[in-house]
Structure 1
């Protein structure tokens, strides 16, 4: 499942003394101006790319993925001077039930043409992840004209190749070595980098992979690998899609509410309302450090999405909703007496790696134990009272998700509704001491669904 709120992906088969002093200051300012990242402009900050080394970027996601897998890298590129609007994603049905590979290639053509036309750049940089590496390699190999419009290609933890696709300068990033004992994965003639003990999706969103991509694209190290807070309000926009087809929602209404960080309750009227007729919504202006609920109404279920505060302007917000009979809702029991949640992060949850495990508690209960071994690659977690019996059964996964790639679930009773308090979620990522905390209302699952997205940075 993908989107900023839900994101699960797979691949299958980042005087004289005074004069001298003034002169020194001028020289210093000139040096700083030369060294600093380009000034903010446009949608949400970043350069238009007057530096020839900075080209627009096109991202192609993997199976059941979306633009959200590149959200953290895009925010890091923007923190280093890229314009937000100069980073695009090509999205498609990865089950190829509603589009063909040729049609996806045509979408890449359109994205490339639009970026070149708007920016005046000579070429783009292309990034593929997982199944997106197959799509991208086939694209580059399909014609010399297509390859000629791509300056650099990054192949993230996907398919190997005997030569750089289409003869394009290639960087290949590899993760999860434990899955391929004794096997050398590489693209011959490319720069191949082992990311070490990183997960499959983590390979897209990690600081190390961003550092490698930025240096490969620009020939220099990034000024920062942090997602630096943007000054003032941030412009936020995105799309509402169905999981897993990535088809757009065309009959919904999206309302954006500011919420109380202590209990998740709404603060006043909606700050924005959008008719969702082609999947797109926004932009709306998000205040620094503020927390928001994005409420989607359509059909018989109201879907509530909650995120961490928006640090920078963002075009890659993806809200993934499930249709009746969908893979998530069909495996969870609804009731007016309990809440159902989906929790996601574009970095795998690990529970069996000792000191390198993640922690995730819901209403004070640690829920990862026993349900998120590293081999599961769990990115999405379904939480709810599976039997609607008012009891929790922690420590073992919901059997219905055992065979579903990258999705796990746990039977936890979350009473609903609640008058004064909300559901408190707290995560401490592996290799970090920083806690990520969100509090959301306890909406009854009979008429509501709740999705919570933790940042991968």
Structure 2
């Protein structure tokens, strides 16, 4: 046997022995734990009557702090209003059980899509009920690492066993008494497993008031205190002066939830602009009629067949600049985009659909991309048909507070219909009795939108929709 042959055989034997040792090590060594995910998927759950778009600025703030867009999910309940009696079916409304099942399905979709073991759940108002119910009764305790409840009326909007006992917002009803039943030696009200945080206002949350003025029972006690959203066993955060919606969507609430989820303060609560902005979202409508007392209800179902046009507008006058920059007849999914927008340009969105008024929505420039620019076709209320034009300033992510906020509509400060004290309305409506075709300016704490009035007689309705 030559020297070279011997060396070659020894090399082969050494390689085989090394491979065997490695295989043995693979069989016996414990698996290496995967590194923790620095950007857990976050699922955002909107409140009663809302849609996914209420989370727009919250998502922008997470993105501005480096959170990947594909790890942020704002889900949307098709029928977002609660039943008047949770035990009785009601057209266009959801029960607590249906709400929980919807959330459970959406969480499973997110876990499958991302490969993550757990998600963070962040809820606004009624959305917090679905989160609590899912974690307590839907198998969510093992799938959720953190739960944040902004403005959730955890002890009810009122608490009276004789007053609509089957309503889910009744703190003395079976739904909330079940969720709040003590779960440990210290009387914890939260389900063990996830970490819990609640965020509440001091005295400015319309749904955490000792007097029933905001639920149509002025002068009658609700049996609920200002700290009704707090829960035993949770980290309970109080932020002064914020309103009901700002407990979930405001910058101070974002700062609290970011610290709670990550263990550190955010680098910024500002929204960092993007150079390239792409917008999309869903067009939806509402149930029959214009009056809630007569059976009208909002829904988040796609309004297939609706026509959407987008126009760039002059920031000083609201006049259209040239032809439409985007047009689409929406399909079964309801999506009106995608549309590449200029981050420096305000836009007018126009929705046309059978059975609805031609709806004009004016928006200030979008600093970042969003796939949840939801558009709702509206009808003209019977009470507004005597106006030559109807323009509504709307704030989806908060309420208007006087004297807290600086608000003007068509030069009036404050606009009519906004009460002094607790911030509790999110719209201010203007009925024009003069020219139906002129500029109308809405301003709120520095955000300025200029739109055009369109004639009611021709079945047009106008909204100036605020980002902030």
- Under TM normalisation by the shorter chain, which class is it? 0.7 to 0.9
Equivalence for 1:404: none
Kindly indicate whether residue 198 of structure 2 is the aligned counterpart of residue 198 of structure 1: no
Inter-partner Cα distance in structure 2 for 1:257 and 1:227: 24
Cα shift at 1:369: 5.7
- Which secondary structure does the structure 1 equivalent of 2:146 belong to? strand
Cα shift at 1:441: 1.7
- Which secondary structure does the structure 2 equivalent of 1:71 belong to? helix
**Is the Cα–Cα contact under 8 Å of residues 249 and 276 in structure 1 kept in the other structure?**
yes
Equivalence for 1:347: 398
Inter-partner Cα distance in structure 2 for 1:365 and 1:268: 30
Cα distance change of structure 1 residues 255 and 349 upon mapping to structure 2, 3 Å threshold? same
- Which secondary structure does the structure 2 equivalent of 1:118 belong to? helix
| Residue of 154, 173, 187 corresponding to 2:199 | 173
Cα shift at 1:301: 2.1
Superposition pairs for residues 12-411 of structure 1, below 5 Å?
A: 52-92=37-77, 93=79, 94-96=81-83, 97-98=91-92, 99-144=94-139, 146-160=140-154, 161=180, 162-165=188-191, 167-177=193-203, 179-180=208-209, 184-185=227-228, 186-230=230-274, 232-243=275-286, 244-277=298-331, 278-299=333-354, 301-323=357-379, 329-334=381-386, 338-345=388-395, 346-351=397-402, 353=403, 356-362=404-410, 364-368=411-415, 371-375=418-422, 377-385=424-432
Cα shift at 1:90: 2.6
Cα shift at 1:377: 0.3
**Is the Cα–Cα contact under 8 Å of residues 254 and 297 in structure 1 kept in the other structure?**
yes
Inter-partner Cα distance in structure 2 for 1:283 and 1:266: 20
* CA displacement, residues 397-417 of structure 1 (integer Å, 9 cap, x when unaligned): xxxxxxxxxxxxxxxx35212
- Which secondary structure does the structure 2 equivalent of 1:322 belong to? coil
**Is the Cα–Cα contact under 8 Å of residues 46 and 124 in structure 2 kept in the other structure?**
yes
Cα distance change of structure 1 residues 70 and 111 upon mapping to structure 2, 3 Å threshold? same
- Which secondary structure does the structure 2 equivalent of 1:91 belong to? coil
Cα shift at 1:268: 2.3
The alignment's TM-score, normalised by the length of structure 2, stands at: 0.71
Cα shift at 1:184: 4.0
Cα shift at 1:289: 0.9
* CA displacement, residues 223-268 of structure 1 (integer Å, 9 cap, x when unaligned): 11001111x2211111122252333312201111111212212222
Cα shift at 1:222: 0.9
Cα distance change of structure 1 residues 104 and 117 upon mapping to structure 2, 3 Å threshold? same
Cα distance change of structure 1 residues 215 and 288 upon mapping to structure 2, 3 Å threshold? same
**Is the Cα–Cα contact under 8 Å of residues 265 and 440 in structure 1 kept in the other structure?**
yes
Question: Which structure is higher in RCO with an 8 Å CA cutoff and minimum separation 6?
Answer: 1
**Is the Cα–Cα contact under 8 Å of residues 57 and 125 in structure 1 kept in the other structure?**
yes
- Which secondary structure does the structure 1 equivalent of 2:352 belong to? strand
Equivalence for 2:460: 448
Cα distance change of structure 1 residues 374 and 245 upon mapping to structure 2, 3 Å threshold? farther
Rg larger in 1 or in 2? 2
Size of the aligned set, in residue pairs, is: 359
Kindly indicate whether residue 435 of structure 2 is the aligned counterpart of residue 415 of structure 1: yes
Inter-partner Cα distance in structure 2 for 1:263 and 1:193: 43
Inter-partner Cα distance in structure 2 for 1:62 and 1:183: 19
Cα distance change of structure 1 residues 180 and 265 upon mapping to structure 2, 3 Å threshold? closer
Cα shift at 1:58: 1.1
- Which secondary structure does the structure 1 equivalent of 2:319 belong to? coil
Cα shift at 1:191: 0.7
The alignment's TM-score, normalised by the length of structure 1, stands at: 0.73
Cα shift at 1:296: 0.6
Cα distance change of structure 1 residues 426 and 148 upon mapping to structure 2, 3 Å threshold? same
**Is the Cα–Cα contact under 8 Å of residues 239 and 252 in structure 2 kept in the other structure?**
yes
**Is the Cα–Cα contact under 8 Å of residues 125 and 152 in structure 1 kept in the other structure?**
yes
Moved more, 70-79 or 118-127: 118-127
**Is the Cα–Cα contact under 8 Å of residues 345 and 365 in structure 2 kept in the other structure?**
yes
- Which secondary structure does the structure 1 equivalent of 2:97 belong to? helix
- Which secondary structure does the structure 2 equivalent of 1:192 belong to? strand
Cα shift at 1:105: 2.7
**Is the Cα–Cα contact under 8 Å of residues 442 and 449 in structure 2 kept in the other structure?**
yes
